[in-house]
Amino acid sequence: MTNTGSSPKILHGAVVGCGFFALNQLEAWRALDGVEIVALCDTNETRLAETGARFGITRLYTDIEALLDDEAIDFLDIATTPPSHRILVEAAARRGVAAICQKPIAPSLADARAMVEAMATSGRPFMIHENFRWQTPVLALKAQIAEGAVGLPFWCRISFRSGYDVYAQQPYLAKGERFIIEDLGIHLLDVARFLMGDVASLWARTQRVNETIKGEDVATIMLGHVNGTTSVIDCSYASTFERDPFPQTLIEIDGTSGSLRLTQDYKLLVMNKSSDRTLDVTPLLLDWAQKPWFNIQESVLNIQRHWVKCLQTEAEPFTNGRDNLKTFALVEAAYESASAGRIIEVS
Ligand code: NAD
Ligand code: 89V
């Protein structure tokens, strides 16, 4: 895009998929400067009409090709569930339209690679909406590492344990062969890469505690990072709490000169030989957000702001397609490890 005046031109986007999570994305687009959603697409006409009315968007489509034929847009924001991601990303790529795609990028690594290739051929920006690394508490913890508050990190634990009824708002999660690693563990694997670096090997175990669902609802994954450090990722939707931490990710990092602990209720403990401090890293409760989801909702605003800036400055998004293939490869490796009962070397 070209900048002809003192401020960049308004970017025009379209959102495809008007379901549960897209409402957060649409709220965030509405809150951001420099961007406007001009069209919506959903195969479900009722949802499409309701969402159009709620956000004052009148250009509504049930078919993505019709939308791309009619609308001159700068980007397509894909907020459907994974089975449709490849076809939608490839449609954007064929038209030379930049695209954002929700996580998990695709149901398989083969599909994910084809999508990244299609967007690379189009030459247009491609970002996976991998928002957990954009959460305020995670960014605060990363800043402490970057400032050298604990020396060199050598060990990390990333934990998300809950008994929240996630199936009520996302019923498809109870129906897939794969569940917690593909849907939630993927976020934690990405945060592990963000905090500790790329991964060389992995060992995973999965369990299904809730017998009414099809996939695994508990997973424990050990990562050996390329730089020699170690992470443990543990996630569960089968755990009981007096005060359920959903949807908080709790993180422990040990470094050569101190330790970091991100604990429940958004407290970040910074401990080293000279001092112990507790920082309040509570996310903003945005005017369109609700508890307990506000942490995730703010991260949606953060990642979408990043996308706007990337398009305006022609910078590569952090969670671009190629980067996200590395996170998705860990998902595949975790399922392979759990099924084969062995360590997987990650290429
Ligand atoms: P959903 O089922 O509520 O909504 C998906 C919508 O897409 C539906 O309205 C459906 O009709 C529509 N759709 C499906 N195929 C389509 C197609 N080919 N063309 C047009 N519309 C189509 O799903 P959801 O819970 O909103 O999840 C959507 C995505 O968001 C998933 O990939 C999920 O993993 C992700 N998600 C991410 C987060 C996060 O924090 N990043 C949280 C929740 C969900
Ligand atoms: O991020 C997600 O995809 C959500 C949740 C955080 C609830 O697992 O499904």
The reply to whether the predicted model has a pTM over 0.85 is: yes
The answer to the question of residue 300 being in a domain is: no
Residues 44 and 144 in one domain: no
CATH of the domain at 74: 3.40.50.720
pLDDT in tens, 289-302: 999 999 999 999 99
pLDDT in tens, 104-133: 999 999 999 999 999 999 999 999 999 999
pLDDT in tens, 221-278: 999 999 999 999 999 999 999 999 999 999 999 999 999 999 999 999 999 988 899 9
pLDDT in tens, 173-221: 999 999 999 999 999 999 999 999 999 999 999 999 999 999 999 999 9
The answer to the question of residue 235 being in a domain is: yes
The answer to the question of residue 82 being in a domain is: yes
Number of the ligand closest to the Cα of 248: 2
| 283 prior amide bond cis, ω within 30 | no
Q: 347 pLDDT band (50/70/90 cuts)?
A: confident
The answer to the question of residue 24 being in a domain is: yes
Closest CA to 126 of 157, 90, 176, 174: 90
Instruction: State yes or no: pLDDT of 142 exceeds 90.
Output: yes
Whether 224 is in the pocket of ligand 1, judged by its Cβ within 6 Å, is no
pLDDT at 2: 43
Helix axes 45-55, 22-31, angle to 10 degrees: 20
Q: How many domains does the chain have?
A: 2
Residues 16 and 160 in one domain: no
Structure tokens at 107: 């149901």
Atom of ligand 2 nearest to the CA of 103: 3
Ligand 1, residues 41, 81, 179: which to mutate, most atoms within 8 A of Cβ? 81
The answer to the question of residue 307 being in a domain is: no
Residues 100 and 193 in one domain: no
Residues 147 and 102 in one domain: no
Residues 144 and 282 in one domain: yes
Q: Residue of the nearest CA to atom 3 in ligand 2? A: 183
Separation of 113 CA from ligand 1 center, angstroms? Answer: 20
Ligand 1, residues 20, 78, 80: which to mutate, most atoms within 8 A of Cβ? 80
Whether 128 is in the pocket of ligand 1, judged by its Cβ within 6 Å, is no
Ligand 1, residues 16, 42, 298: which to mutate, most atoms within 8 A of Cβ? 42
Separation of 41 CA from ligand 1 center, angstroms? Answer: 12
pLDDT at 274: 86
Residues 82 and 145 in one domain: no
Residues 111 and 225 in one domain: no
The answer to the question of residue 17 being in a domain is: yes
Atom of ligand 1 nearest to the CA of 102: 32
Final residue belonging to a domain, choices 89, 124, 159: 124
Q: 3 pLDDT band (50/70/90 cuts)?
A: very low
Atom of ligand 1 nearest to the CA of 64: 19
The answer to the question of residue 312 being in a domain is: no
pLDDT at 6: 63
Percent of the chain with pLDDT strictly greater than 70: 98
Percent of the chain with pLDDT strictly greater than 90: 97
Residues with CB under 6 Å of ligand 2 are 166, 170, 183-184, 187, 247
CATH of the domain at 240: 3.30.360.10
Domain range for residue 19?
11-124
Instruction: State yes or no: pLDDT of 84 exceeds 50.
Output: yes
Residues 115 and 142 in one domain: no
pLDDT at 1: 44
Residues 20 and 136 in one domain: no
Residues 141 and 277 in one domain: yes
Distance, in Å, from the CA atom of 112 to the CA atom of 245, rounded to the nearest integer, reads 32
Residues 67 and 139 in one domain: no
Distance, in Å, from the CA atom of 199 to the CA atom of 188, rounded to the nearest integer, reads 13
Phi, psi at 154, each rounded to 5° = -125, -10
Final residue belonging to a domain, choices 95, 124, 153: 124
pLDDT at 346: 96
pLDDT at 228: 98
Q: Is 99 left (phi over 0), alpha (psi -120 to 50) or beta?
A: beta
The answer to the question of residue 309 being in a domain is: no
pLDDT in tens, 22-72: 999 999 999 999 999 999 999 999 999 999 999 999 999 999 999 999 999
Residues 189 and 91 in one domain: no
pLDDT at 120: 98
Closest CA to 196 of 156, 249, 147: 156
Separation of 257 CA from ligand 1 center, angstroms? Answer: 43
Final residue belonging to a domain, choices 124, 148, 181: 124
- Distance (Å) of CA 126 to CA 51, 192, 244, 325: 25, 22, 35, 12
Instruction: State yes or no: pLDDT of 4 exceeds 80.
Output: no
Helix axes 186-196, 321-340, angle to 10 degrees: 120
> Higher confidence at residue 8 or residue 62?
62
Atom of ligand 2 nearest to the CA of 164: 7
> What DSSP string describes 234-272?
EEESS---SS--TTPPEEEEEESSEEEEEETTTEEEEEE
Whether 167 is in the pocket of ligand 1, judged by its Cβ within 6 Å, is no
